Structure 1
């Protein structure tokens, strides 16, 4: 497809009305292209590069968080030069891995991912190899990154951040548009959220704990498309509730009810038959993430079972295999133990 549009830049070349009309037409055309095409279009000219990377255009292209396309999982035992395995979320239209290894700086071999949020990755140098820690924000879609200012001596980045939209405003000297209301969760005796624009902490209510349960539990907490979800399982459970936080942070409510019995029947290798059914590790199962779809019926869990990643539809109660993990499958064991992975979301967000 050939598009011949020239941005008119001075009053000598055209009237103000013509300039506005030209820009409006270009905006309407470019907003209809996928992000990957827009990345290529930046090479057309300096004008197009400036236009597409402008924060206002980025916000128009994605006024709301995009749904995640896949999951980046760090290979076990790769603490130096970490590699990633990619799990696409669509069987019919799988996406390509955004990266296999971090390569955005000269010392990328000593960089690890701490957190993903709306298409951006928070990365840091590895403490064991570099005591002078550096933090980066990297956009794998645009291949751009920025180095964050060095924290004050003796402090670090310790909150787990889940963002939800209240309003938009510039948050950097470069004029990037971003979230100004975030929820920082500290799991334990107390859970808090931090309202950035008002610079205050508020207490976050916790979901109910079953009566009489005093043992440990497994939990998942994560954000997707502005929704904050929580799952907690006690013992070897395959039936559980999925909670969602109300928009005003006043309480959690049960959004979905899950029964994975049909999944266990389809994949009996999930059962560690040498263990007692009441044993904590009776089922080889973990939750990678919960993804909110653009429509209610599209929301799903991404689960890990031995050798496979499974997509479980939370509304229709159906499931399908997403991915076979690389390497030989080990019976009733999980390849990834202590990770929720990092969501891949296409974004033009400036860094």
Structure 2
């Protein structure tokens, strides 16, 4: 009886103190907290609060990706002229697919629909950087930072220059919850000084304002600013011919990067490039043409001293398991062509669980670096359709997804 009375008193003390209740709930994973919001209005208010979100984000700052956001139909490049029409699914890397109705055209953002469309530009530690699709002439493109887990978002008005909105070549999200609960949006704008001269704008969620960070810098004309990768506190860009830039976001200066480990003379024959981050590691993949099944996955050392070959891959077994990858109609007598693209490198501390994510005709599959086994994650080909005629996905169609309560 005494023990029961003590337990009852303790429960009342906890129930009566938001601080004690928060200290207990903050240890729970995001998926549980979303369900806990249904317990009562008080719990919902506590879990939805800005302070609790910051506390939970900091405590769980090393969370790993929950899976991949996969777009049903290939999305369009942000500079395309037709609005996208597609939904997203959350693909678990251990198998299984769960529909994410909250992401249907990002319907929780006012004004977004299958007509206007919302494009994901980047996924970074649980937050998404998105932009609206301006389907009418003269419509201003809108940028959003979105937390798909909490369905919170913020619209970023581009800074004004001479009374008009600045136009960006590339927009990148920098968010590292292990260092700060705040994020930055880094934008590259071409200047009027010359064709190869640029400036950097930075939006800070801490100050809720834009400012010019770097007034002027030079870069190769073909630098792909639309595909920046945030890793190790910096935004990284590369171009098709091996040049690279690395911007330290906190110091607001450029770092030196080692040369990309490929012979310049062979770059024209390369295909299937992948450049991205996974679980705190920066990876780069190049495949030498469509007739090879062997390639290497390179990783950058944290001190930027060199790229090194992390994994050596031979997907010959994958081709045998999925013969739809073979396109004999392209064959001109000099061997088979293999139809695949690299969607991601899923790096785990346990090397037995590290995976390469591939798109083959009509499917998303994984390749285990350790044992070479492959597994189908999702078959998105319509029934009766020849998979070999399915369009390839690309870097605009699949994104890392992490559950987080991080406020935007």
Q: If the length of structure 2 is used for normalisation, what is the TM-score? A: 0.71
How has the CA–CA distance of structure 1 residues 304 and 279 changed in structure 2, closer, same or farther, with 3 Å as cutoff?
farther
Q: 1:37 to 1:164 in 2, by over 3 A?
A: closer
The Cα of 1:66 is off from its aligned counterpart by 2.0
Q: Aligned pairs, how many?
A: 333
Q: Distance in 1 between matches of 2:111 and 2:129?
A: 16
Q: Tell me the residue number matched to 2:400.
A: 343
Partner of 2:107, secondary structure, is coil
Are the equivalent residues in 2 in contact too, given 1:67–1:294 (CA < 8 A)?
Answer: no
Distance apart, 1:234 and its partner CA: 1.5
Q: Deviations over 1:36-66 (max 9, x none)?
A: 2212333534466335642442224422142
Please tell me whether residue 126 in structure 1 is matched to residue 133 in structure 2: yes
What RMSD in Å do the two structures reach over aligned CA positions? 3.2
Distance across 1 between alignment mates of 2:287 and 2:333: 13
Instruction: Tell me how far 1:322 sits from its aligned partner.
Output: 0.8
Deviation, structure 1 residue 283: 1.0
Question: Could you tell me which of 102, 105, 112 is aligned with 1:108?
Answer: 112
Tell me how far 1:144 sits from its aligned partner: 0.6
**Structure 1 CA distance, aligned partners of 2:276 and 2:380?**
23
Which protein is richer in helix relative to its size? 2
| 3-state SS of 2:356 partner | strand
Could you tell me how far apart the structure 1 residues matched to 2:324 and 2:237 are? Answer: 35
Is residue 300 of structure 1 aligned with residue 355 of structure 2?
yes
1: CA distance, partners of 2:172 / 2:88: 23
1:119 Cα deviation from its structure 2 partner: 1.6
Distance 2:169 2:15 in 1: 45
1:8 maps onto 2:63 in alignment: no
> Which of 148, 156, 167 lines up with 1:155 in the alignment?
167
Identify the residue that residue 150 of structure 2 maps to in structure 1. 142
Q: Distance in 2 between matches of 1:128 and 1:48?
A: 38
SS in 2 for 1:198: coil
How far, CA to CA, are the matches of 2:141 and 2:296 in structure 1?
40
Question: Which sits farther off after the overlay, 60-69 or 191-200?
Answer: 60-69
Out of 221, 235, 238, the position equivalent to 1:183 is 235
2: CA distance between counterparts of 1:82 and 1:273?
Answer: 32
Q: Does the CA contact (< 8 Å) of 1:136 and 1:147 recur in 2?
A: yes
- Superposed displacement of residue 85, structure 1: 4.4
TM-score (structure 1 length as normaliser): 0.82
Report Cα offsets for 1:144-195 as digits up to 9, x if no partner. Answer: 10111323434326055677787335452489xx999222314245311111
Residue matched to 2:302: 247
Structure 2 segments unaligned to the other structure (5+ residues) = 1-10, 77-81, 184-204, 209-229
Which of 317, 331, 352 pairs up with 1:276?
Answer: 331
* Distance (Å, rounded) in 2 between the aligned partners of 1:162 and 1:280: 44
Post-superposition CA distance 1:201-231 (Å, at most 9, x none): 1232233214752524221001112211110
In 2, the alpha carbon distance for the partners of 1:163 and 1:280 equals: 45
CA contact (8 A) 1:207 1:252 kept: yes
Of 272, 275, 283 in structure 2, the residue corresponding to residue 221 of structure 1 is: 275
Contact kept in structure 2, 1:207 and 1:243, CA below 8 Å: no
Secondary structure class of the residue paired with 1:243 = strand
